Amino acid sequence: MNRTVLAVGALIALAVIGILFLGLGKNPNQIESPLLGRVAPSFALREVGTGKTIGLEQFRGKPVVLNFWATWCGPCYEEHPVLVANARNLGSSVQFVGVVFQDTEEKIQRFLNDRGSSYPTVIDEAGKTAIAYGIGGVPETFFLDSTGKIVGKHDGPLTTDDLRANLAKAMGQ
């Protein structure tokens, strides 16, 4: 029995297995947005279709669902019906806003005509708003409470369950 080999080997084995075991079940791709708990960056962007300017401040007083998307994004097609239906059901108690970036107005208009819409969509032409929100890919959705503070964020296509869970936070429940 070589005690040195045993001791060194056991030490290395314990360290490696222990560290990896602690890492199990964590998702390193899920990086918490540093914007959580802060007031959402303001913007004033042109609404697709009407051409009027929409600013975030005008929705103070009710929760806001801010959905970043684009027509070139596959998963956005998937979640679009979920957003449209929920926005319709919730009526005026919650404000939904779609923010589209890296896209053209004509394509967005076609998308909305084909697939329906029930809330305003704005176009972020310079991509500055997407940068301010730290968008890593689309779709990403932010949930704001009535004071304009970001209380939740969802990466990837939304389901009605995701939406409800995050809205509950935004409504202070």
Partner 1 sequence: MNATLGRTIILASLLVSTAGAIIAFAAGRTRSREGLKWAQRFAYAFAFLMIAATAVMEYALLTHDFSVGYVAQVGSRTVPVWVTIVSLWSSLEGSILFWGLILGIYIGIATWFTRNDYHEYMPDAIGVWLASAAFFSFLIAGPANPFLSVANPPLDGPGPNPLLQNHYLMAIHPPFLYLGYVGMTIPFGMACAALIKGRLGHGFLKPLRESLMLPWIFLTISIMLGGWWAYEVLGWGGYWAWDPVENASLLPWLTGTAALHSMVVLERRGILKGWTITLIQATFLLVILGTFMTRSGVFNSVHSFTQSSIGPTILGFLAAALVFTIALLATRIDLLESEGRLEGGVTREGMFLFNNLLFVLLTFTVLIGTVFPLVVEAINGKQMSVGRPYFDRMVVPVGAALLFLIGIGPALPWGRATRAQIRRALLPPIGGAILVSGIGFALGVRNPWTLLTLAFGGYAAQVTLTEMWLPLVQRLKRGDSFGEALVDANLGRGRRRFASYVVHAAAIVVIVAIAVSSTMRSDVELQMTRGQATTVAGYTVTLLGVEERAEPHRMSTVAKFTVAKNGAQRAVLEPRMNQYMAMREPIGSPDVYTTAGGDLYLSLMNVDIARQSVGVHVINTPMVVWIWISVIMMGIGGLAALIPHRRTAVTNYTPVVEPATPRYVKPEEVTAS
**Residue 31 found at the interface with partner 1 (CB under 8 A):** yes
Q: Are residues 75 and 156 in contact, defined by beta-carbon separation less than 8 angstroms?
A: yes
Closest to partner 1 by CB, 26 vs 52, is 26
User: Residue from 63, 98, 120, 139 that binds partner 1 (CB under 8 A)?
Assistant: 139
For the chain, the residue count is 173
The least distance separating partner 1 from the CB of residue 123, rounded to whole angstroms, comes to 13
User: Residue from 50, 53, 104, 147 that binds partner 1 (CB under 8 A)?
Assistant: 104
- How far apart CA 20 and CA 29 sit, in angstroms, is 16
- Among the listed ranges 37-45, 47-55, 132-140, 145-153, the one in contact with partner 1 (CB under 8 A) is 132-140
**Residue 92 found at the interface with partner 1 (CB under 8 A):** no
The least distance separating partner 1 from the CB of residue 104, rounded to whole angstroms, comes to 6
Residues 6+ apart with CB under 8 A from 163: 65, 82, 83, 86, 141, 154
- How far apart CA 61 and CA 169 sit, in angstroms, is 15
The packing angle between helices 74-90 and 160-170, to 10°, is: 50
The packing angle between helices 74-90 and 105-115, to 10°, is: 60
**Residue 87 found at the interface with partner 1 (CB under 8 A):** no
**Residue 27 found at the interface with partner 1 (CB under 8 A):** yes
| Per-residue tokens: 39 | 């007031």
The least distance separating partner 1 from the CB of residue 80, rounded to whole angstroms, comes to 14
DSSP 117-143: -SS-EEEETTSHHHHHTT--SS-EEEE
- In the stretch 42-81, what mask flags binding to partner 1 with x, by CB under 8 A? ------------------------------xxxx------
**Residue 3 found at the interface with partner 1 (CB under 8 A):** yes
Task: Please compute, for residue 57, the number of CA atoms within 13 A of its CA located in the half-sphere on the CB side.
Answer: 4
Chain contacts with partner 1 (rule: CB under 8 A): 1-3, 5-6, 9-10, 13, 16-17, 19-29, 31-32, 72-75, 102, 104, 127, 136-139, 156
